[in-house]
Amino acid sequence: MLNSILALSVTQNASDLHLSSGEAVRIRINGQLQILSKEKLLPLNLEIELLKLLNEVQKKQLQQNRQIDFAYQAVGIGRFRVNIFYQQRGISATFRIIKNYIPDLSEIGAPEVFKKLIKYETGIILVTGSTGSGKSTTLASLIEHINLTQSKHIITLEDPIEFIYQSQNSLVQQRELTYFDHAIIDSILRQDPDIILLGELRNKHAIQAALTVAETGHLVFATLHTNSAIQSINRMIDVFESNSHDFIRTQLANSLKAVISQKLVPTEQGRKALFEILINTPAISNLISEGKIKQIFSIMQTGQQYGMQIMADN
């Protein structure tokens, strides 16, 4: 039953599938939620189907935390990022459909400056946006372009692993970690990476890890759930205690290379990504150090020669 619904979702070119106890099956196409089947899902039957996807350890995690994130590979159908959780009517699940190939930069409409950004040897490149804005796809396209065109050692830390990379000119090693701390970061640094993908920076420990790794001479890719470059910088600073802000601003001013903020908008051909791009020029670095974050936007408006653009430029 479940695999047939997943297969139908893929053929409908959906981005997400929603299975909710006592509700009709719904899919999201071009950002809009639609009913796939009007038949309501019985809670017990749905729970039996969803629990088949989990091993014993995952079942215990679901029972303890009342939710779990993982990746699921349906043979002959595709790969999915899954969140199973319990709500008032019973068990529910959301399946994010992961493309079975990694689109190249031209396919996602990436500006030319993206190819310059991935040539940096050190620093932090952030890809930001709301849930479902295409951050994972953009990040995968950037990593895959490096994989195809450069000879690097790339280590990814993901929760869960989404796109699967095949090593080309680069060596790509993917690790599934639900968290990372200083001990894990120290261990990864001993594995001789050139590039580290840290995934989502969910808290101050993750942000501090990104800043520390960048300072050790590595290129770091990461995501944030923020809607603009300015908001991203503020988030990375404000998550720390106020007495640490000066130090964090200095670290960020020295380590940040770029912030790519994006959103998806509907078109006749499907959804298209719009990008806002901040490049950390010396002028912007000074503003970050001095805490004059609001003034950055005016530099972005006139920074086209550096590859910068705001949403209105799209």
- The domain limits of the chain are 2-98, 113-313
Q: How many CB atoms lie within 10 A of CB 66?
A: 12
One-letter amino acid for residue 59 of the chain: K
For 151-200, the pLDDT digits (tens) are 999 999 998 999 999 999 999 999 998 777 778 889 999 999 999 999 89
CA–CA distance, 112 with 265 (Å, rounded to integer): 20
pTM above 0.95, yes or no: no
**CB-based burial label for 193 (10 Å; 0-12, 13-18, 19+):** buried
Q: What is the mean pLDDT of residues 15-19?
A: 97
The pLDDT > 70 percentage for the chain reads: 100
Crossing angle of helices 245-255/229-238, nearest 10°? 140
Specify the length of the chain in residues. 314
pLDDT of residue 68: 96
Q: Which residues contact 231 (CB under 8 A, 6 or more apart)?
A: 128, 261
For 237-256, the pLDDT digits (tens) are 999 999 999 999 999 999 99
Q: How many CB atoms lie within 10 A of CB 88?
A: 7
Cis before 160? omega within 30: yes
Kindly indicate the confidence band of residue 143, based on its pLDDT and cuts at 50, 70 and 90.
very high
pLDDT of residue 182: 78
One-letter amino acid for residue 93 of the chain: A
CB 188 within 8 A of CB 157: yes
Kindly indicate the confidence band of residue 266, based on its pLDDT and cuts at 50, 70 and 90.
confident
Q: How many CB atoms lie within 10 A of CB 234?
A: 14
* Residue 296: both structure tokens together: 């950055």
- DSSP lists the bridge partners of residue 272 as 265
**Has residue 100 got a pLDDT over 90?**
no
- We find that the CATH architecture of domain 2-98 is 2-Layer Sandwich (3.30)
Q: What is the mean pLDDT of residues 82-97?
A: 97
Alpha helices per DSSP H over the chain: 2-11, 43-51, 56-65, 113-117, 135-149, 182-189, 204-215, 229-238, 245-255, 282-290, 296-301
- DSSP lists the bridge partners of residue 279 as 258
CA–CA distance, 212 with 296 (Å, rounded to integer): 24
How many DSSP H helices and E strands does the chain contain?
Answer: 11, 13
Fold of 113-313: Rossmann fold (3.40.50)
Helix (H, G, I), strand (E, B) or coil at 12: coil
